[in-house]
Structure 1
Amino acid sequence: MPNPPTGAPKPRKPRPSRARGLRTTTGCLTCRKRRVKCDETKPCCTPCSKSKRECAYAVTTTITTPSTEESNAAPSVPEEASVPSQPGTVGSLNANDSPELRFDLSPLTITASLPSPNSAPFEWYDLLAEDAINNIERHNLGFDQTSLSRRQSPVPEFLNAAGPRLTVEPEYQSPKVSVDVDAEISSNEPWNSTQILALTETELTLMQHFVNVVGPILDLLDPHRQFSTTVPRLAVHNVGLLKSLLAVAARHMALHSAETQPDQMTDGNITDPAGRRNPFTQVATQYYYETLHYLSQNLLYPSYTRSGVIIATAILISTYEMFDAEGSYSDGGWERHLRGIFWIQRGQNIDGETVDPLRKAAWWAWLRQDIWVAFRENRRTLTIWRPRRRLMDLNADDLVTRIVYITARCVDFAANEKNYDMGLRIEQGDKLLQALDDWYQILPSCFKPIYAQAHTESNVFTPLWINPPMYAAAVQTFHFARIVVIINQPSVGGMSAFRQQQKLLDESVESICGIAMMQQNHLESAFVNFQALYVAGLCVQNPVKQLAIKQLLEATLDLAKFPPKTLLNDLTNFWREAQ
């Protein structure tokens, strides 16, 4: 393990940022707090001696035990001292001594007000309905608010399965005969249809777009491709899942609708964020509210609230809200509703090692969304789950998801409070860097580049091709996480530690940009690419490299259409303030 890293100089006027920048990491604690230059004279530096202040340097301390509230919320894990692994080895790491597994739990999720398993789906729906009703009133959308009220009777009304559904209507008729669509669908469930639900021509187009475009985005890290295969098969037997699928497909098509199109699909007056009429946005909004209407009528079926169908529906609703996060009628619902999904997943004991492939895929899709939101909002991630399997027992596909989990812990570290013992924070950062190094050292050859273009004067970065894309995404995620830890970890090291840290940062920037260069036309990877490129930009000071990263990020955002290009402005403003 390299010496504790140090950071590049901090901007003169630090701004409150959603993504942390570089900070000064040498000198005594008093000078660093005062933001003055320290000559590091011991036992008392010159600035502290002149100002007659107490001079103290950071010392390594042990991690404190979790609070009583944390101990009651989840099984405690011993806070043992980490043993650095030798380069190229992992050692005998197990579930209790892998460094990332000893990071303290997220306070956001450990509260006395956590809903019970039975009430979690209702609490989640109430979040959705409250924001939906507020939007109906604020923007005069013309939807019936009463249709979003939870029914007091578990006997739902059903609607005709045929014909167009561009207005809020009752439910499909659901025959009460069992069908073996999937192990997830049990017999005689009134909230499922035994017959394949009829699709209009428009709905078929949206379904195909989901299967061919949106599903693969969600399935990037899932070798079983649950959202592209299993979810569509379930959707044609469940109205709520079908409508959520159509909603997210239409919203994604609205993002990629380059020109204003004729109003062929609706007479509504909803426009896109640029003020133009966009029929896909109207249709997406309609299906979103129809999904909520379905939930309002079917949540009183206990079998439905415990099903994998509701889990898949929740992820699709969240994905719709993610694509709609900067839309005309968005009020931050996506970020708030991620907490509700956490509740219902906990109610079903779903986590990253769940046996059921659909629930497992949904959990990881949720965590990927929560990591980005937590990073941008400078908060900790919502999960308190800790993996049970040893690093050495994971296959290549499992290693892909393990780096996502470690990244969540790194984002927690970046958002952690800075007002406690500096030595503790340094130690936590070292443990996370150790965990990242352990993960990287154990990677099999399938994660290595199969092509690396020779460096030329025309390329600032060297293109790297790692295939398949899920392994490339894992490597980018690793470098994303390493940068996040390094730029947020204080250090009392000298010039040698600073150079080592800068070397790691440079390696991560080169890898992130090199992989992104080879994936500029790969839509499935764009969601990982833009996150990694943005973080890479936070630790680059060379104007030539800054321009190259900005061009790569802009091309990625042009491809993905999410998030909006205001992300470029954030990065540009960060560079300007760092000058």
Structure 2
Amino acid sequence: MESLHEVPVKNTKKRRRGGQRRKTGCYTCKERHTPCDEKRPVCGNCERLRLSCRPFEPIKQCAWSAPGDANHASRPEQHPHQQQTLFQAGKRDASFPATMDSTCALFTAHMPDPPLYSITRTSPPKKTASTPHRHPQQQGVGVDDGSHGAEIISGAQVTLTAEMIHLLTTYRTTVATWMDIFDYNCAYQLDVLRRCMTSSLLVCSVCAFTAKHLSLLPLGDVWSAPATRYYGESLRTLISYIGTDSAPEDTLTATILLCSYEIIASQGEEHQRHLYGARLLILNRGVSASSVGLDRASFWIYVQHEITVALFNRTTLQISPKDWKVSWREKEVDEDVLANQLLWLLGRAVDVVFRQEQSMFTATTTLCGERREIHADVASWLDSWSPSFTGVKYGEIDGQGFSKLYFPMPCAAAAMIWYHLLHILLYAEPRLQHPSYIPLIEHHALEIGCIALSDIPNSVRSFSSQAIFYGIS
């Protein structure tokens, strides 16, 4: 009789099934190593287990990434000591909580709720990417782990590498000009870079946004890893600022930069979640169009982002234009102020047309009255505009009826794109208001095409794609 230890034991360990792996399942299932049925908006696994379903978001080239900027795509040479510093920064990201993969997740966990008077439309999106449960003791405090508290900037000068300097320099001549398109004070080109000298949070946020922009250019793959590294470092540092009184302007500015990063990096339908953190900061701190300095600039950039997202998702704005606290002077002549005034009119139009589409309880007469009021205000704006808003046609008209337009100020060209789109919204959304509007709609669509085909700077071209492709699913 054979002894027990001589009997061979069969290996019963299950082997992983073979076959081609799918790359489009939700990130929650990927982390749990379970197959995803890819059901939208919430997959079967996440619905059954009541998990936060983080949808797959493919990355593709953004309209902000102009081919003409390809000369910025190469990375500068790094000194060995600087390379070591950057690698160490990348290693620190490894300790960053895995669930904090976006500004939405970070602010959901660590930001107190906005004031009661302003929370009517500020609940976090239902389909967010990894929104961990927030315990009561976390509300209103910075972060449980105090290890990052010492990193809140005390005014000391930051340490920069050659790579950082390259990204800061590129930032000022590329993405910062787009952020300041409606701001003649150039807050994001000048004030942000001044603040970078004493704020590692802003340095990392600027570098992350710029590197992501460069990574989307032709031959820009070399910037993908630095963009991810700076982004993770920015989120890690941002936790130290939330719930404290340290550099509140820097907190909002960094959040605007990071949500801009997220918007150009993702092409899913959940753009709204990327604005969640900025919206919370704006509401908690009472930032509005009447604020000053970087806060005012950040508010108007947030408005531009939110209008773009609202047009994409066909929904009303999260912060109503009635709560923007705008104040306009009569006979205004500065193009940037007039452009922001038009942005306010566009926001009102977006709210009216998509509120009519979503709600069955708003009286039709009320909505029609609001439309007429917006039409009248747009006509008044047109009467007071600067001559620089009148584009000068040049060149020959092509077979489709397009002709190029020259605008002396890029701000005016971008504003006129919104002006023509505003009329299309009022005439055709949520449905055609009257057959007599069809020629007017065609006229405004033609004007948008003329501006887009003109010799305009990239800061204007980034605005044109939303209007050109509006209504095309």
TM-score, normalised to structure 2, is 0.65
CA distance in 1, matches of 2:404, 2:180: 24
Q: Unaligned 5+ residue runs, structure 1?
A: 1-112, 135-148, 159-170, 172-189, 262-277, 539-570, 575-579
- Residues 292 and 390 of structure 1: CA distance in aligned 2, closer, same or farther (over 3 Å): closer
Q: Which residue of the partner structure matches residue 403 of structure 1?
A: 342
Secondary structure of 1:409's match? helix
| DSSP 3-state at the match of 1:452 | strand
1:281 to partner: Cα distance: 1.5
For 1:321, which of 258, 262, 278 is the aligned residue?
A: 262
Cα distance, 1:515 vs structure 2: 1.5
Distance 2:442 2:329 in 1: 27
User: Residues 427 and 320 (structure 1 numbering): CA distance in 2 closer, same or farther, change over 3 Å?
Assistant: same
* Structure 1 partner of 2:195: 234
Deviation at 1:492, TM superposition (A): 7.7
| CA distance in 1: counterparts of 2:131 and 2:364, whole angstroms | 46
Q: CA deviation at 1:527?
A: 2.0
Which residue of 459, 479, 482 corresponds with 2:423?
A: 482
Aligned partner (choices 298, 303, 306) of residue 362 of structure 1 = 298
5 Å matches for 1:182-331? 191-195=153-157, 197-256=158-217, 258-259=218-219, 278-304=221-247, 307-326=248-267
Structure 2 CA distance, aligned partners of 1:347 and 1:452?
Answer: 46
Judged with a 3 Å threshold, the aligned counterparts in structure 2 of structure 1 residues 506 and 151 are, in CA distance, closer, same or farther, namely closer
Identity of paired residues, percent?
18
CA contact (8 A) 1:407 1:481 kept: yes
- 2:189, 2:451 → 1: CA distance? 25
Instruction: Name 1:381's counterpart in structure 2.
Output: 317
1:523 matches 2:458: yes
Q: 1:133–1:438: structure 2 CA closer, same or farther, 3 Å change rule?
A: closer
Q: RCO higher in 1 or 2 (8 Å CA, sep ≥ 6)?
A: 1
Q: Residues of 1 paired with 2:159 and 2:222: CA distance?
A: 22
Any idea what the Cα deviations from partners look like across 1:59-95, whole Å, max 9, x if unmatched?
A: xxxxxxxxxxxxxxxxxxxxxxxxxxxxxxxxxxxxx
CA shift for structure 1 position 428:
2.6
Distance 1:363 1:117 in 2: 18
Q: CA deviation at 1:358?
A: 1.1
Amino acid at match of 1:314: T
Residue 285 of structure 2 corresponds to which residue in structure 1? 348
Does the 8 Å CA contact 1:192/1:239 hold for their aligned counterparts? no
Query: Which residue pairs with 2:138 in the alignment?
Result: none
Q: Report the 3-state secondary structure (helix = DSSP H, G, I; strand = E; otherwise coil) of the residue aligned with 1:478.
A: helix
Letter in 2 for 1:115: D
Structure 1 residues 454 and 157: alpha-carbon distance in aligned structure 2, compared to 1, 3 A threshold: closer
Aligned-partner residue type, residue 289 of structure 2: G
Q: Distance in 2 between matches of 1:294 and 1:489?
A: 43
TM-score w.r.t. the length of structure 1 is 0.54
Contact kept in structure 2, 1:464 and 1:511, CA below 8 Å: no
Deviations 1:438-482 (A, max 9, x none): 211221212112x31265354521211112010111111111111
**Structure-2 residue corresponding to 1:512:** 448
Q: In the alignment, which residue of structure 2 is the partner of 1:394? A: 332
Q: Which runs of 5+ in 2 are unaligned?
A: 1-110, 133-140
SS of the equivalent of 1:403 reads helix
CA contact (8 A) 2:182 2:337 kept: no
Q: Which one of the candidate residues 410, 424, 430 is aligned to 2:372?
A: 430
Deviation of residue 116 (structure 1)?
3.8
Separation in 2, partners of 1:358, 1:284: 24
Deviations 1:93-135 (A, max 9, x none): xxxxxxxxxxxxxxxxxxxx992469x9xxx9x99xx94799x
Matched residue, 2:144: 152
Query: Structure 1 stretch 200-209 or stretch 411-420: which is displaced more?
Result: 411-420
Q: Which residue of 2 aligns with 1:465?
A: 406
In structure 2, the partner of 1:115 is: 113
Deviation of the 1:373 alpha carbon: 0.6
In 1, are the aligned partners of 2:356 and 2:430 still within 8 Å (CA)? no
Query: Take 1:459 and 1:337, find their aligned partners in 2: how far apart are those partners?
Result: 38
Distance 1:133-1:436 versus aligned 2 partners, 3 A rule: closer
Give the match's secondary structure for 1:392.
Answer: coil
Q: What RMSD, in angstroms, separates the aligned Cα atoms of the two structures?
A: 3.1
- Offset of 1:279 from its aligned partner? 3.2
Q: CA deviation at 1:523?
A: 1.1
Does residue 447 in structure 1 map to residue 389 in structure 2?
Answer: yes
Q: 1:331 to 1:532 in 2, by over 3 A?
A: closer
**1:287, distance to aligned residue in structure 2 (A):** 1.1
Q: Distance in 2 between the 1:377 and 1:243 partners?
A: 30
- Answer yes or no: is the 8 Å Cα contact 2:343–2:418 preserved in 1: yes
Q: Whole-Å Cα distance in 2 between the matches of residues 492 and 485 of structure 1?
A: 8
Provide, for residues 302-327 of structure 1, a one-character-per-residue CA deviation record: whole Å limited to 9, x for no partner: 233xx21111111101111011113x
Q: What corresponds to 2:31 in structure 1?
A: none
Cα distance change of structure 1 residues 382 and 510 upon mapping to structure 2, 3 Å threshold: same
Contact 2:263/2:274 (8 A) holds in 1? no
Q: Distance in 1 between matches of 2:421 and 2:432?
A: 20
